[in-house]
Amino acid sequence: MGDVLRVALAGLGTVGAGVIKLIDANRSLIERRAGRPIEIVAVSARDRNRDRGVDLGRFDWVDDSTALATHQGVDVVVELIGGSDGPALVLARNSIAQGRAFVTANKAMIAHHGLELAGAAEAANVPFKYEAAVAGGIPVIKGLREGAAANEISGVFGILNGTCNYILSTMESAGRDFADVLSEAQALGYAEADPSFDIDGVDAAHKLSILASLAFGTAIDFDGVDIRGIRHVIAADIVEAQALGHRIRLVGMASANEQGLFQRVQPCLVPLEHPLAHVTGSLNAVVAEGNFVGRLFLQGRGAGEGPTASAVVADLIDIARGETGPAFAMPVASLAPAGRAPSGGRMGRSYLRFVVADRAGVLAEITAAMRDAGVSIESLSQRGVTAEGAAVVALVTHECPEANVSHALALLDGSESLKAAPMLMPILEV
C-alpha cells in the first residue's frame, strides 16, 4: 500500500459530518480500493462545539477555514462550506496555489468560478474534482466526462433538484397545492426556510451549467441559463398532465447547435414512457443523448449526508489512485466559448394553461391568438370551475418554435378574460 492521502475538511455541516462517518465506516474497503489509506487530518467549521455525531478530537482543528490551504501535512483540501464566493472561493484559490488537490461539492462556486479554478489547477498540475456538486451520489460528472466521452452529445436533461421533485411528486400523489406541500417540506426539513434557490430553479441551473460544459465542450455559462421555477405550478396542472399521460418535473435541459448553447431550467410535461417521469420523491436523474451510445439514464439520491459524502470520497479515491485529469474533460483553453441559442428557438410541443373567466367567448379569444401567432392546437380541455368562478383551460400545441407560443401569449397579455398569468411548459418527447 502507498502513503496515506491526507485530507483537510472545510465545513462540517451534514455533508462534512457524512464524509467523516463514511471514511470511518468503510476505512478498510476504501484503502483496498484506493490502493492507500485515506485519512482526514484537519477540519474547520464555524462552530467547534456543535455535536455532529462524530469525534473531532483526533483531527487538527483550524478556526479559519481558509488556513487549511497552508495547513501542514495536507495533500487534499475538501471544501464543503458552500457559497459561490467568500471563504469557499478563497480556500479553493489558495489550496490550488499551494499545489494541493482540491475537491468540492459547491455547485454555485463551480458554476461561477469553475473555469478559473480548473485553469489554475491545470497550471499547477493539481487534481480538481467536484463530483458531489451535481446530483449528489450519482456519478454524472464521471458519466459525462468519461463514460460518454466518445460521443457527440446532442442533449442533456436532468432532474437536478430533489426539493422540487419532492414537491411536484407530492402534489401529484396527494393532489395537493404547491404552497401546502412546500410548507410541509419545510417542516420536514426537505426544503429550506428560504426555499427560493431551490424552487425558483437557481440550484438546478448551477448544476445544468456544469453538465452543459461537460457535455458540449463549452465554457460554463451560468448566466446563459433561462431559469423558470415551479412556484406557479398549480394542482390543476398536475391533473391536466395526468390526463395527457404525463407528469410534471422540473427539468434542466441543454443542447448545442450552430446557433449556440440552449440551456433552460423549467417545469416540463414528461411522458410516462420517458425515464424522467419515473423519478419520484427527492431522487435526481440525468439523461444524456450521444450520437453512438444513444440515451443514457442515471438515477439516484441527489442530496443528503450519505450520497453527497459518497461522491466526495469517490473523488478522493480517484485522487489516491492518480486517476485525474482535466476537470472539465479537456483543458480549459479548449472549451469553446459558446454563443447562446435564442431560447424561443426551441422546437417542440408545449402545454399552456389559462385560468379564465367562466363566460362565453374566452376560448374563441385564446384560439384566435394561437391562430394569429401561427400556433396549431393539438388538444384543448376546459375542466372544472374554481370557487372563484374561474375555469381552467389547458391546451397542447403541435410542434412549433416556442417563440410562436410566446407571441400568442403576448397577444393575450392584458386580456380581461385571463384571471392569472398563463403557464407555459414544454412537453418532452419520448
Please identify every residue annotated as catalytic.
Answer: 207
Nearest to 234 by CA among 277, 181, 157, 197: 181
Considering only 196, 259, 291, 386, the residue that binds a second copy (CB under 8 A) is 291
Whichever of 146 and 226 has its CB closer to a second copy, that residue is 146
Considering only 146, 177, 184, 365, the residue that binds a second copy (CB under 8 A) is 146
Considering only 4, 67, 317, 411, the residue that binds a second copy (CB under 8 A) is 317
Q: Identify each DSSP E strand in 80-190 by its residue range.
A: 101-104, 128-129, 153-159
301 lines the binding site for a second copy (CB under 8 A): yes
Whichever of 237 and 318 has its CB closer to a second copy, that residue is 318
Nearest to 236 by CA among 228, 224, 226, 244: 244
Residues 200 to 239 in contact with a second copy, rule: CB under 8 A: 217
Report the C-alpha gap between 358 and 382 in whole angstroms.
10
Whichever of 275 and 348 has its CB closer to a second copy, that residue is 275
* Number of other CB atoms surrounding residue 175 within 10 Å: 11
* Nine-digit cell string for 205: 441551473
Residues 122 to 141 in contact with a second copy, rule: CB under 8 A: 131, 137-139
Whichever of 116 and 146 has its CB closer to a second copy, that residue is 146
Q: By CB under 8 A, how many residues form the interface with a second copy?
A: 59
Nearest to 141 by CA among 126, 121, 160: 160
Whichever of 27 and 46 has its CB closer to a second copy, that residue is 27
DSSP secondary structure string, 324-389? ---TTSS-GGGSB---B--GGG-EEEEEEEEEEESSTTHHHHHHHHHHHTT--EEEEEEEEE-TTS
- Backbone angles phi and psi of 22, in degrees to 5: -65, -45
294 lines the binding site for a second copy (CB under 8 A): yes
Residues 51 to 80 in contact with a second copy, rule: CB under 8 A: none
Report the C-alpha gap between 208 and 212 in whole angstroms.
6
Binding site for a second copy (CB under 8 A): 18, 22, 25-26, 29-30, 32-35, 131, 137-139, 142-143, 146-152, 217, 275, 278, 290-301, 306-307, 309-314, 316-318, 321-326, 329-331, 334
